[in-house]
Structure 1
Amino acid sequence: MERVSAPAPAASGQASGPLLAVADLTLRFGGVTALDGVGFTVAPGELLAVIGPNGAGKTSVFNCLNGVYRPQRGTIELGGQSLIGRAPAAIAGLGVARTFQNLGLFPQLSLVDNLMLGRHHLMRTGFLAGMAWWGRAKREEIEHRAAVEDVIELLELEPYRRTPAGLLPYGVAKRAELGRALAMEPRLLLLDEPVAGMNVEETEDMARYLVQARRELGLAMILVEHDMRLVMDLADRVVALDFGVVIAAGTPDEVRDDPRVVEAYLGCGA
């Protein structure tokens, strides 16, 4: 438990403080406490996994981090800037992107256009200039489309560039969801069950793309996932929740073998 508030080791030899610092995060809905004093840090370039049984509070943590929920108590700081009270769009502008378990793609738009939506908060020209598509607006769109093509190449999505998202195979659609988030050029990427519903081959592919994106883009990531094999393979550190409380934190091996985590998942003592 004492590891929960301890600073995370900086990734890739960086000596700076944590990119994200969460302390005493408490969220209530009426008489129900979804999160109770949750705290953790994420270092630059680190991958932190948040695990726990259904109803443990994992999604509530994400919803607080990207401004969907406003906690009653606690602090959330990204690079020293408070995220509490900011709108989701403002938090995205500070460098937080999120994927969704149930996909956040627009089915009628092509894969390229879905990824371009991830660039929206980076665009500076107005609506009328964009409609006219001339001058600065034209140059800006060309630049953003080039950035999207880099993401498409990174995730090997070239064959599906013009395919409507609603027609993509499920595994490819999950990859496109990741691509939309990467197109936002985040500092912190929130991954909400990125391999949910995937078969073994698709899961292995997604793990490879996450490793590659992390290595090439230098991203910090928070992974919420039920696939413990994926968590053990990818995470630098793990935080385990149960009923909105942190019950263990440490390396993947330490958390996996913690009796409180075993009990939370299996309903029996170790």
Structure 2
Amino acid sequence: MERVTAEGPLLEARELTLRFGGVTALDGVSFEVARGELFAVIGPNGAGKTSIFNCLGGVYRPQHGTITLEGNGLTGRAPAAVAAMGVARTFQNLGLFRHLTLIDNLMLGRHHLMRTGFVSGMVWWGKAKREEISHRAAVEEIVELLELEPYRSTPAGLLPYGVAKRAELGRALAMEPKLLLLDEPVAGMNLEETEDTARYLLEIRRELGLAMILVEHDMRLVMDLADRVLALDFGVAIGTGTPEEIQHDPRVIDAYLGGAA
């Protein structure tokens, strides 16, 4: 059951195969993501979820297969080039600069959109000044969207964990991506923080119409938010469908419960 718009899918991954020596991390995995879709990837530990993200982000280059974004090839491009084409990612382990304020961390997400050079930026006059003001205005919209106003000037290292995860999400949004990769966005969160994050993801989707790929172990979150789900087991795609279809797929049940069901 492929959800593809008349314009075609935003992202296409075809027959991705990734090997490390004698270990096959991905074995002919294919999937599509439509514009505005929230697509989830699930599977037990070691199933290949992070390997997919690393292939999409340019960290790994698959030995076989292709990845395209709006028809443009991503396979083999460097991470910076992939980001410039419109793919942003959050990380399970926080990647914030601890001694920079929340605003400064979000501004880093705008770096690839800035056009003025180092010297003009240092002088901070004319075009450079206008550009920074414009980018700060864009960052303030994200601060408002994610309700981060009380923490604008707080160093990232002093942020509560749930707020820091939200700030990392904000930095990814600051890149103005076409596709957002969410790597376990609620890992380590309590129930209240998890519910808040789910609300923000729904708000982002409603306000920005942004396509997202979610890797997450919290199955309640996945089943509540995702339009479609790809289930992996030992690098092999064992099922793709709606959350309801995946929950009743015998192969998925077997992979998660070892046949106990």
Give 2:183's match in structure 1, choosing from 183, 192, 208: 192
SS in 1 for 2:187: coil
Give the TM-score normalised by the residue count of structure 2.
0.99
1:61-72 equivalences in 2 (<5 Å): 61-72=52-63
Q: Output the CA distance in 2 between the equivalents of 1:187 and 1:221.
A: 9
**In structure 2, what is the Cα distance between the partners aligned to 1:69 and 1:127?**
31
- Identity percentage of aligned residues: 79
Pick from 47, 55, 78 the counterpart of residue 56 of structure 1.
47
1:132 corresponds to 2:123:
yes
2:121 paired with 1:121: no
Q: Give, in whole Å, the separation in 2 of the partners of 1:230 and 1:42.
A: 19
Matched, 1:8 2:3: yes
Structure 1 residue 257: deviation in Å?
A: 1.3
Give 2:17's match in structure 1, choosing from 15, 26, 35.
26
Aligned residues: 261
Q: TM-score, normalised by structure 1?
A: 0.95
Matching residue within 161, 171, 174 for 1:170: 161
| Structure 1 contact 259–269 (Cα < 8 Å) conserved | no
CA distance in 2, matches of 1:159, 1:203: 20
The reply on whether 1:149 has 2:144 as its aligned counterpart is no
Aligned residue identity for 2:142: V
**One-letter code aligned to 2:8:** G
User: What is the deviation of 1:259?
Assistant: 1.1
Query: Which amino acid in 2 is paired with 1:66?
Result: G
SS at match of 1:125: coil
What does 1:168-247 correspond to in 2, within 5 Å?
A: 168-247=159-238
- Structure 1 stretches of 4+ with a deviation exceeding 2 A read 7-10
Give 1:65's aligned amino acid.
L
Q: Please state whether the residue corresponding to 2:253 is helix, strand or coil.
A: helix
Give 1:269 deviation, angstroms: 4.9
> 2:105 is aligned with what amino acid?
N
Task: For structure 2, list consecutive stretches of 5 or more residues without a partner in the other structure.
Answer: none
Match of 1:94 in 2: 85
Give 1:8 shift: 2.2
Q: Which amino acid aligns with 1:170?
A: Y
d(CA) in 2 for partners of 1:258 and 1:108?
47
Q: Note the residue ranges of structure 1 that are not aligned, 5 or more in a row.
A: none
